[in-house]
Chains A and B, each alone.
Chain A
């Protein structure tokens, strides 16, 4: 099963192996016709309406604003409903540096997101601390604080890169098991522990 969108050929995607691994696992477990079809239906809806949390600490946040404006227009993909409350959002685009004082706040925001929840580490500061890595007051990447689904490198990433990052997240959502999967019994952390990405420690 090739997980892709209409406008983009499968070969154009990067990191297809990870998605294929997820698909294989789904097929190996055997699919219940009823629940499987429901999964598909719900995931179709979920993957096309992922709502971001309005969260930005620095430069990357401005590119996220550009993403919402007319030129890049994330409304095309169904992501335009940026919520200011984490309880109404699906994913968190960590746009900017996370510093020591921000860490507890950031963690609480993550905890407040409703399950199933996703995190995109956007920009080099969120990934590793970036140019501020050697500072006394900067967290060296957010993976130590919360599990991360997609990394978008750049300083700041271009809006196109952000679009690609969120599209990858959307692909991942498409192949998840919603019933008995990400929705209830399995917490995000356990899910990621069971599906390690090579070379990345969550």
Chain B
């Protein structure tokens, strides 16, 4: 429906025209994914107009990329319209000097911006004026310097590895402008003064990794959750800036390790687009098949661990059986069970294993039986239903405002599958259904994943007998240099929209590679979903969102 609507009503040209009419100072470059440059003073008005104008409706904030161009700092907001299915970038240059650069916050326009802006502040030291929570996100409050600035001092003596517990504070900062236009820092409590705050994590079996929730509770009821990230922040974006393009690829395996193929595929596509490399049809089919196999394996592990969180340990063994079968298929071709490093610029590393087709067919044969079994054992179970139905309901509006994509967003009725919205590779030719639900509760999120396994199997069935002959990897130059420019792209990982922003200065290394993972917004929404619920429901809700902590932290 959205596709036909946008064809008739709105084109990108309409949107840019409208913006330049409303804001004559805005400079608009590019045509398919235009970038609007706007002075900081007008940025907040533009943000409101972008969200609320009936002809624009940019209600989904994909990511905020903090930038350091050495002479100035700034942020690039990437927005998407869920009505018209168009993506636009907005570039805002920070005011002030390098000691105290600042931009007006858009936290009141898009809810998820609160967290995204914290990330930019953490990495680049740009202050977002009026953001209600301007703390560091991944690094400790005593961290010296801002790592993504080009002049950052990496000397380990400044920020030593210490076994002493880091300093904690109950306060957060809010920056405002006084009447003279000076920035004023105000301290605000994170929790109320006599709140009872419990720590959940980072070492907790139900947080799926090292995520920490500072939870204010009233008896059994959750009052507020402060999500505390950074326990597995590995600085991938900074590392990429010192590596050549092919070298940066392997980090994609190690963020969301279940979407290893999908992320690899995404970054390869971005580089190929920038370098103007056409890959063979065979490589495209192989990549899509690997993506869908990963999706099945990922959702299987989700089912296993989620059910284990809810006390059904047996499901882990059932679900991992299918996952092991898929890992066998991948191992035969890629040579590894995880961190495959299979896709490369120009295609894939090596050809498919001889029995790939037979193995995939064998998988497709057992899959329906297994799904039926899962449903028999768990989905209809009265305990499971009581714990999941109606728990953690996320409305469609909130899913968009918090940028919760992937199966979690689709369970709230938001059709956000990037394979459909922004078709890439060969997805436009494939026949599959976008799985959505309307309930928006934990059960819906669970069922959406279950049905996505079936849809992925459908894609595999279409492709398994139609793998064309040809070369699996086209010839690419030994040393890959990209032309100077900016590129942005969104694809679908196993957990939602995976954005990549690349800025190149014409050398062999990326000037800036920003990774927008789907799991960060999902961590941001936990507070909203759990308020007023019981602590036990926190486990259900967190599990059903299915975030991967290394993907949040990068």
Contact = CB atoms under 8 A, between A and B. Distances in A.
B550 interface: yes
A56 B203 CA distance: 9
A102 B235 contact: no
A95 to B, nearest CB: 11
Interface stretch (A15-23, A30-38, A44-52, A127-135): A127-135
Interface in B155-197: 156, 159, 161-166
A57 B320 contact: no
B235 A136 contact: yes
Contacts of A65: 301, 305, 316, 320
B234 A132 contact: yes
Given A69-B317, A71-B320, A103-B161, A137 B231 contact: no
A55 interface: yes
B163 A103 contact: yes
Range of interface residues on A (Cβ < 8 Å): 35 or more
Q: Which of B147, B210, B236, B238 has the most CB of A within 10 A?
A: B210
Nearest to B201: A105
A105 B202 contact: yes
B505 interface: no
B250 interface: yes
Contacts of A131: 250-251, 254
Interface string A86-117: 10000000001101111111011100000000
A132 B258 CA distance: 19
A59 interface: yes
B166 A101 contact: yes
B232 A102 contact: yes
Nearest to A101: B230
Q: Which of A69, A86, A104, A137 has the most CB of B within 10 A?
A: A137
B336 to A, nearest CB: 9
Interface stretch (A138-146, A165-173, A177-185, A188-196): A138-146
A101 B231 contact: yes
Contact of B257 (A55, A62, A66): A62
Given A96-B232, A131-B254, A134-B239, A69 B205 contact: no
B203 A156 contact: no
A59 B550 contact: yes
A159 B394 CA distance: 38
Contacts of A100: 140, 159, 161-162
B337 interface: yes
Contacts of B233: 99, 101, 137
Interface in B202-216: 202-205, 209-210
Contacts of B321: 69-71
Q: Which of A65, A69, A70, A108 has the most CB of B within 10 A?
A: A69
Given A58-B232, A62-B301, A99-B234, A158 B337 contact: yes
A59 B338 CA distance: 8
Q: Which of B162, B202, B209, B231 has the most CB of A within 10 A?
A: B231
B204 A84 contact: yes
Contact of B232 (A57, A62, A108): A57
A167 to B, nearest CB: 20
B462 interface: no
A132 B161 CA distance: 15
A188 B241 CA distance: 41
Nearest to A158: B337
A66 to B, nearest CB: 7
B320 A137 contact: no
A198 B413 CA distance: 60
A66 B232 contact: no
Contacts of B258: 62
B29 interface: no
B195 to A, nearest CB: 23
Nearest to A55: B203
B324 A66 contact: yes
B339 interface: yes
A176 interface: no
B123 to A, nearest CB: 11
A153 interface: no
Interface in A50-82: 54-59, 61-63, 65-66, 68-71
A76 to B, nearest CB: 14
Interface of A: 54-59, 61-63, 65-66, 68-71, 84, 86, 96-97, 99-105, 107-109, 131-132, 134-140, 144-145, 155-156, 158
28 contacts: A58-B232, A58-B254, A59-B254, A62-B257, A62-B338, A65-B320, A66-B320, A66-B324, A69-B304, A70-B317, A71-B320, A71-B321, A97-B234, A100-B162, A101-B230, A103-B163, A104-B162, A105-B210, A131-B254, A135-B235, A136-B147, A137-B138, A137-B147, A137-B233, A137-B235, A145-B161, A145-B163, A155-B339
Please provide the 9 A-B residue pairs with the shortest distance between their CB atoms, ordered closest to farther.
Answer: A69-B320, A135-B235, A107-B163, A59-B257, A104-B165, A58-B550, A84-B205, A132-B234, A70-B317
